A and B are shown apart, each in its own frame.
Chain A
Amino acid sequence: MPTVAELYKKDLDKLLKPGIHFLDGNTATAEGAVTAGCRFYAGYPITPSNEIAEYMSYRLPQVGGKFIQMEDEIASIAAVLGASAAGVKSMTATSGPGFSLMQENIGLGSMLEIPAVIVDVMRAGPSTGIPTLLGQGDILQAKYGSHGDYEIVAYLPANPQEAFDFTIKAFNTAEKYRVVAVVLSDQLVGHMYGKVRVPEFDEIEIVERPKPTVPPDQYLPYDSKYLVPPMAIAGTGYRVNNESLTHTDKGYPTTDKDASFKLVMRLVRKIRENEKEIAEWEEYLLDDAEYVIVSYGSTSGSVRRAIKVLRTQGYRVGLLRPKTAWPFPGWVVENLASRGVQKFITVEVNMGKMYHVVREFSRGVPVEHIPYAPGYIPDPDYVMSNVKKVIEG
Chain B
Amino acid sequence: MSTEVEVATTGIKVELPKAYDDIKDLIRIDRLPHIWCPGCGLGILLKLLARAIKNSGIPIEKHVIVTGIGCTGRIGGYLRLDAYHVTHGRAIPFAVGLKMANPELEVTVVGGDGDILAIGGNHFIHAARRNDDINVIIVNNFIYGMTGGQYSPTTPKGAKTTTSPYGHFENPFNVPLLAYAAGASYVARWSVLHQNELYQSLLEMFRVKGFAVIEVLSPCIIYTDRNAMGDAVDFMKVIKERSTIDHNANLADIDIDFSMKKIVLGNFVKRERPVSYG
Interface residues of A (CB under 8 A from B): 39-40, 42, 66, 68, 70-72, 74-76, 78-88, 90, 104-105, 107-108, 112, 232, 234-245, 248, 252-253
Contact = CB atoms under 8 A, between A and B. Distances in A.
B147 to A, nearest CB: 15
Contacts of A40: 97, 100-101
B96 to A, nearest CB: 5
A108 B126 contact: no
B112 interface: no
B29 to A, nearest CB: 12
A64 to B, nearest CB: 12
Given A40-B100, A235-B61, A252-B8, A82 B85 contact: no
A83 B82 contact: no
A237 B99 CA distance: 16
B96 A82 contact: yes
A147 to B, nearest CB: 11
Given A72-B122, A78-B90, A252 B277 contact: no
B87 A82 contact: no
A105 B61 contact: no
A241 B76 contact: yes
- Pairs of residues from A and B, 8 with the lowest C-beta to C-beta distance, nearest first: A82-B97, A79-B97, A86-B101, A75-B93, A83-B101, A78-B93, A83-B97, A82-B94
Contacts of A39: 101
Interface in B242-278: 277
A253 B34 CA distance: 12
B77 interface: yes
B225 interface: no
Contact of A239 (B66, B81, B86, B89): B81
Contacts of A112: 84, 86
A235 B81 contact: no
A241 B61 CA distance: 13
A85 B98 contact: yes
Given A82-B95, A88-B102, A235-B61, A66 B85 contact: no
30 contacts: A40-B97, A68-B277, A71-B122, A71-B126, A72-B122, A74-B93, A75-B96, A75-B122, A75-B123, A81-B97, A82-B98, A84-B101, A85-B101, A86-B98, A105-B87, A108-B90, A112-B86, A234-B105, A239-B61, A239-B80, A240-B83, A241-B77, A241-B83, A242-B82, A242-B84, A243-B85, A244-B85, A244-B86, A252-B8, A253-B85
Contacts of A238: 82
B28 interface: yes
B177 interface: no
A76 to B, nearest CB: 8
B94 A90 contact: no
A90 B101 contact: yes
Interface in B83-141: 83-87, 89-90, 92-102, 104-105, 122-123, 126
Given A79-B93, A244-B85, A244-B87, A68 B101 contact: no
B237 interface: no
Interface in B22-42: 28, 31
Nearest to A255: B9
A74 B119 CA distance: 11
Contact of A235 (B8, B62, B96): B62
Given A78-B90, A85-B101, 17 more contacts: A39-B101, A66-B100, A74-B90, A79-B96, A79-B97, A80-B97, A82-B84, A82-B93, A82-B98, A83-B100, A85-B98, A232-B82, A234-B64, A241-B83, A242-B82, A243-B85, A244-B87
A238 B134 CA distance: 21
A42 B96 CA distance: 10
B166 to A, nearest CB: 32
B102 A78 contact: no
Contacts of A241: 28, 76-77, 83, 85
Contacts of B66: 82
A90 to B, nearest CB: 7
Interface in B205-256: none
B42 to A, nearest CB: 15
A255 to B, nearest CB: 9
A79 B97 CA distance: 4
A79 B96 CA distance: 6
B103 to A, nearest CB: 10
A85 B105 CA distance: 12
B65 to A, nearest CB: 9
A248 B28 CA distance: 15
Contacts of B97: 40, 42, 78-86, 90
A85 B86 CA distance: 12
Most buried by A among B76, B81, B123: B123
A33 to B, nearest CB: 15
Nearest to B83: A241
A112 to B, nearest CB: 7
B94 A78 contact: yes
B84 A85 contact: yes
B82 A235 contact: yes
A104 B105 CA distance: 26
Contact of B90 (A105, A232, A237, A243): A105
A296 to B, nearest CB: 31
A253 B87 CA distance: 14
A267 B220 CA distance: 36
Nearest to B61: A237
A105 B93 CA distance: 11
